[in-house]
Amino acid sequence: MVEQELSGKICVVTGAGRGIGKAIAISLAKIGGHIICVSKSEESCGASAQDIRDQGYSAEHMAVDVSSAESVSAACKNILDKYSAADILINNAGITRDNLMLKMSQLEWQEVLDTNLNSCFYWTKNLLHPMMKKRWGRIINMASIVGLIGNFGQANYAAAKAGIIGFTKSIAREVASRGITANAVAPGFIRTDMTSKLSENIVAELLKNIPMKELGTPEDVAETVKFLCSHGAKYVTGHVINVDGGMVM
């Protein structure tokens, strides 16, 4: 078998059941990583892992609610018992609960913060120490351009994504001397289930502000993540890379 860039690397990808996370899981598997596909429902992460194996690559799945500290902790214990460390952690799972600030409930705020931001803390907290001992690692957190510029009806989501950026830059500084990089990727508008609810009118409005005049694909985001996971990206840390067709420059 040909040695590939990520051969022997254990890659945890959250939100791998659909959309961007699934595209990331497939792209890392294709370059040799063993992918642990995590999502909320057993059905979706199981199907992603099966898809990857059907294509001849290596994957398993774990249904984990990433918003629960206890569930993430138990999942990480299983991973560490089996593999002693994860090499690559992609914190990608996320949700939206959009509402105008005047109408936003505490539950809508809390669910978005727990799923998008607190989950990054839980996974990183559990997997960082063994990664530091290996003196090699890649942490990539999925932000959003909304975390940079805000968005109407998304105070909760923008706060979570901006929080992810600060979190990423801080841990990048803490682990840089241990061969670990930490970066954030900030997609613009990507065609997935998350954006499928947008009406054609809203999409038409959005396109006016996208110089490339089209929405992105999950694969566009996955290619950037793949680069950040590569050995070639070893000197890139603490950054936010926008994948947004030029929307925010």
Q: Smallest gap, in angstroms, from Cβ of residue 92 to ligand NAP? A: 5
Residue 163 in the binding site for ligand NAP (CB under 6 A): no
Looking at 79-87, 124-132, 186-194, 201-209, which segment touches ligand NAP (CB under 6 A)?
A: 186-194
Which of 57, 83, 122, 157 is the catalytic position? 157
Q: Does 32 bind ligand NAP (CB under 6 A)?
A: no
**Strand, helix or coil for residue 231:** helix
* Residue 9 sits in the site that holds ligand NAP (CB under 6 A): no
- In the complex, what is the shortest distance from the CB of residue 196 to ligand NAP, in angstroms, rounded to a whole number? 8
Coil vs helix vs strand at 22 = helix
Q: ∠ at Cα 197 (71, 224), nearest 5°?
A: 65
List helix spans (H) across the chain. 19-30, 42-54, 69-83, 106-112, 119-134, 146-149, 155-175, 200-208, 218-229
Residues that contact ligand NAP, how many (by CB under 6 A): 30
Least Å distance, CB 212 to ligand NAP, is: 14
Q: What is the dihedral of CA 74, 67, 32, 127, to 10 degrees?
A: -50
Of 27-35, 40-48, 81-89, 130-138, the window that binds ligand NAP (rule: CB under 6 A) is 40-48
Is 157 catalytic? The answer is: yes
Helices 19-30 and 218-229, packing angle to 10 deg: 50
- Asked if 10 and 79 count as a contact pair (C-beta separation under 8 A), the reply is yes
Residues annotated as part of the active site: 157
The residues binding ligand NAP (CB under 6 A) are 14-15, 17-21, 39-41, 44, 64-67, 92-95, 115-116, 142, 144, 187, 189-190, 192-195
